[in-house]
Amino acid sequence: MESINQLGRAEFVERFGPLFEHSPWVAEDAWSDRPFADADELFEALRAAMYSAPRERQLALIRAHPDLAGKAAIEGTLTRSSTREQASAGLDRLTPDEYEAFTRTNTAYRERFGFPFVVCVREHTKESILRVAAERLAHTRDEEVRVALEEIAKIARLRMREIL
């Protein structure tokens, strides 16, 4: 932790910014909470920065996530982390029928909520992802923003464990 606490803002953001998909502002905001006693305290500072942001910034964070098995995956433009995470659930090896199911689900979800379906795929299989997405389509928008942020926190925690 000592070396992390000694990082300047730019170095801290370079290291921890990628934990939150295309949203380095989370790490920028958490940097000022140094020193961190341990990894849990570091994560809580990052999580608090995400939750204390204005709603529009939180929505931008959610919208920064790619569709699961979507266009970015096909074009190869996912971040390295997202590529590994989607592959861990088999989303890089879908049958044509499964791909169509994900496309339908992504479209329905975006139309209902105005942002992509976000789930910590490392905790799921492709089948459970589709099942959870169908369940979450019944949520209100406020409920779904809350759940999406919870899922983003899970993703960030797992990514942080990898880099520490």
Stronger pLDDT, 77 or 50, i.e. the higher one: 50
Question: pTM of the predicted model, to two decimals?
Answer: 0.93
The per-residue DSSP string of 35-90 comes to PPSSHHHHHHHHHHHHHHS-HHHHHHHHHTSPPTTSHHHHHT-S-HHHHHHHHHTT
Q: What is the mean pLDDT of the chain?
A: 94
Q: Which of 54-58, 63-67, 71-75, 81-85 has the least mean pLDDT?
A: 71-75
Annotated catalytic residue, options 22, 65, 124, 139: 65
CA proximity to 50, closest of 125, 139, 154, 136: 154
**124 is annotated as an active-site residue:** no
Question: To 10 degrees, what angle do helices 39-52 and 141-163 make?
Answer: 150
Contacts of 123 (CB under 8 A, 6+ apart): 154
Compute the distance between CA of residue 45 and CA of residue 39 in angstroms, rounded to an integer: 10
pLDDT digits (tens, 9 = 90+) for 84-95: 888 888 888 889
On the question of pLDDT at 74 being above 70, the answer is no
Compute the distance between CA of residue 163 and CA of residue 11 in angstroms, rounded to an integer: 14
Other C-beta atoms lying within 10 Å of the C-beta of residue 45: 19
pLDDT digits (tens, 9 = 90+) for 20-49: 999 999 999 999 999 999 999 999 999 999
- Residue 91: predicted pLDDT: 86
Q: Virtual CA dihedral for 104, 108, 111, 114, nearest 10 degrees?
A: -100
